A = this chain, B = another copy of it.
Amino acid sequence: MPDEQARRIVLASRPHGEPTAENFRLETVPVPQPGAGQLLLRTRYLSLDPYMRGRMSAAKSYAKPVEVGDVMTGEVVAEVVASDRPDYKAGDLVTAPLGWQTHGLSDGKGLRRVDASSAPITTALGVLGMPGFTAYAGLREIGRPKEGETVVVAAASGPVGSMVGQLARKAGARAVGIAGGPEKCAFVRDELGFDAAVDHRAHDFAEQLGAACPKGIDVYFENVGGAVWQAVLPLLNDFARVPVCGLVSQYNLAGPPEGPDNLPTTMAAVLRKRLTLRGYIIFDFAGLFPDFLRDVTPAVRDGSIKYREDVVDGLENAPEAFMGMLKGRNFGKLLVKVAG
């Protein structure tokens, strides 16, 4: 163990538009030694999520960008290897904001215990972690679907979208998922139990979406933006709510796209239909996390809330998997297995 090497992936350069392999660099370094009050953590699974694209850019946002040369940020499930803290001992499992690396130190901040007997440990990064909580908090605080209403979400086979639809149905609403390709659509409809699934790659996507929402849309859970938003906008009902938690279709934009200018049409709809658009990140609702676990964990255990994971093996494959995710190539919550 003392001779073991740590590996990590750092931001080699900032992307212009789509990230490429050259923006990442795999480094091998000595395993760090924990100091007083510190833990040494070893990563089991790394979560890959669309928000990371934002951290690769220097633009001001709710979180600091990753600096060039720094380890890519990310949440992991890790095992405590050594502890100089009374609250953790070797062998404990935690989620930690450790980043894209095999080992890291922690002073205990930002950790959450993972109970391996409660559910598979990977779920702490997906259905019972940040993505699931994003769906839960956005619906509960902003979307507020009522019985008989229609809830639409894109990336519906992914970890946020799949939870949005399933929670909407538990609230008595009609859930319509948008996904890329027939295989994902079949999964959304047949496995996750959405009322309908629409393939955004279809040439008549907007018409199909309209047909799937015969009573219009009351809640649109926005995580993609772009062409999907343009198809959703005319279908929104008066007083529709739009939680905005992501805009993956536009993360690679280097600047405002060519026209026409779609902003006036959206603003006119906000006014005429009295829409509410509200952006949020999960840290805004951190106080709800215990409610989330209380409400959702039993449903995951008893199978009434389903999920799918897409696990890539080896830290060195994280950049390629991440770039593929931004193009919708993953199928389910994307994880990197870093150590068994």
Q: How far is the CA of A265 from the CA of B266 in the complex (A)?
A: 13
How many angstroms between the C-alpha atoms of A266 and B253 in the bound complex? Answer: 13
Name the one of B238, B261, B277 contacting A256, with C-beta atoms under 8 angstroms.
Answer: B261
Is A87 among interface residues, defined by CB-CB distance under 8 A? Answer: no
Contact between chains at A244 and B225 (CB < 8 Å): no
Q: Give the contacting residue for A274; candidates B250, B265, B276, B280; CB below 8 A.
A: B280
Decide yes or no: A274 and B284 within 8 Å by CB, A260-B258, A260-B259, A262-B261 being known contacts.
yes
Contact check, A267 vs B225: say whether CB atoms are below 8 A apart.
yes
Q: Is A278 at the interface (CB under 8 A from chain B)?
A: yes
Q: Within 8 Å of chain B (Cβ to Cβ): is A29?
A: no
Of B61, B229, B266, which one neighbours A272 at CB under 8 angstroms?
B61
CB distance from A246 to the nearest CB of B (A): 7
Chain A: interface residue total (CB-CB under 8 A): 43
Query: A273 at interface (Cβ–Cβ under 8 A)?
Result: yes
Interface centre among A54, A62, A260 (most CB of B within 10 A): A260
Contact B284–A279 (Cβ < 8 Å) = no
Tell me whether A247 is interfacial, beta carbon within 8 Å.
yes
Bound-state CA distance A95–B247 (Å) is 47
Contacts of A277 in B (CB 8 A): 270, 275-278
State the 3 A-B residue pairs at the shortest beta-carbon distance, nearest first.
Answer: A259-B259, A256-B260, A271-B279
Could you list 30 examples of A-B contacts with CB < 8 Å? A54-B272, A61-B272, A62-B238, A62-B272, A62-B273, A225-B267, A229-B263, A229-B267, A246-B271, A247-B267, A250-B264, A257-B260, A257-B261, A258-B259, A259-B261, A260-B261, A261-B263, A262-B262, A263-B266, A271-B279, A271-B281, A272-B279, A273-B279, A274-B278, A275-B277, A275-B279, A276-B276, A276-B278, A276-B279, A278-B278
Interface residues of A (CB under 8 A from B): 54, 60-62, 222, 225-226, 229, 238, 244-247, 250, 253, 255-281, 284
Q: A258-B261, A269-B279 are in contact. List 16 more A-B contacts (CB 8 A).
A: A54-B272, A62-B273, A229-B267, A256-B260, A256-B262, A256-B265, A257-B260, A260-B261, A261-B262, A261-B263, A263-B263, A272-B279, A274-B278, A274-B280, A274-B281, A276-B278
